[in-house]
Amino acid sequence: MIALYTFTTPNGRKASIMLEEVELPYTVHVIDITKGEQFTPEFVAINPNSKIPAIIDRETDMTVFESGAILIYLAEKTGRLLPTDPKNRFWVLEWLMFQMGSVGPMFGQLNHFKRFAPEKIPYAIERYEKETLRLYSVLDRQLEKYEYICGDYSIADIATFPWVAAYEFQGLTLNNHPNLKRWFETVEARPAVQKGMNIPSRD
């Protein structure tokens, strides 16, 4: 059994989508980051960096934090959604790191400065919106050539989807990026994605 420590954020959604896709049994432990629960000694013992998500695999007695590491761990545990041949494996890992190093941080900064910052700073909003749209274009060009980011559905798609799903929250549109929009609608239709995006429940 997997214990999932998570909250209603794009990074948290990655882990729940992956668990649904690979059909592993898991329990959900909500860490309410709006109340500072990520800083409790109990959670710091699981993730020293006080970030969600994190998992504990009771079967192997392993704790894994960082969403990208969790995706790799679950893919390797189940033999699913990460190719084993070196060429395709590293292709998927490249795009996973693209999400971790670019999509997540840049989209996250846009979310912060556009929706949560106590003071609206035009320079910051313009900077991160411009970079978000540039990253949309990078994904759009990739998806012009492939149905999914790396040809077949993989952890690269699972990592990227919850962040792209925030486009309306950011006041943006996918209409100018038709390949990205087509991909988004395709991934959104997957039952495991629909369930994982609602864990923990938005209610």
Residue 179 has what pLDDT?
98
Give how many domains the chain has, as a whole number: 2
Do 92 and 147 lie in one domain? The reply is: yes
Q: Which residues contact 16 (CB under 8 A, 6 or more apart)?
A: 4, 6, 28, 53, 195, 196, 197, 199
Residue 111 has what pLDDT?
94
Confidence check: pLDDT of 72 > 70 = yes
Quick check: helix, strand or coil at residue 6? strand
Residue 60 has what pLDDT?
96
Do 140 and 171 lie in one domain? The reply is: yes
State the DSSP string of 33-63. GGGTGGGSHHHHTT-TT--S-EEEETTTTEE
Q: Which residues contact 113 (CB under 8 A, 6 or more apart)?
A: 120, 121, 124, 125, 128
Do 155 and 174 lie in one domain? The reply is: yes
Residue 162: inside a domain, yes or no? yes
Domain boundary among 30, 54, 81: 81
pTM of the prediction? 0.96
In this structure, what CATH number is given to the domain that contains residue 159?
Answer: 1.20.1050.10
Domain boundary among 18, 46, 81: 81
Taking only the tens place, the pLDDT of each residue in 142-192 is 999 999 999 999 999 999 999 999 999 999 999 999 999 999 999 999 999
Taking only the tens place, the pLDDT of each residue in 83-113 is 999 999 999 999 999 999 999 999 999 999 9
Domain boundary among 46, 62, 81: 81
Confidence check: pLDDT of 203 > 70 = no
Residue 202: inside a domain, yes or no? no
Q: If you average pLDDT over residues 25-35, what whole number do you get? A: 97
Do 98 and 36 lie in one domain? The reply is: no
Provide the residue range defining the domain that includes 144: 86-190
Residue 195: inside a domain, yes or no? no
Residue 201 has what pLDDT?
84
Per-residue confidence at 52, pLDDT binned at 50, 70, 90? very high
Q: If you average pLDDT over residues 63-90, what whole number do you get? A: 98
Q: If you average pLDDT over residues 52-60, what whole number do you get? A: 97
Cα gap 158→173, rounded to integer Å:
20
How distant, in Å, are the alpha carbons of 71, 143, 192 from that of 21?
11, 21, 5
Residue 192 has what pLDDT?
98
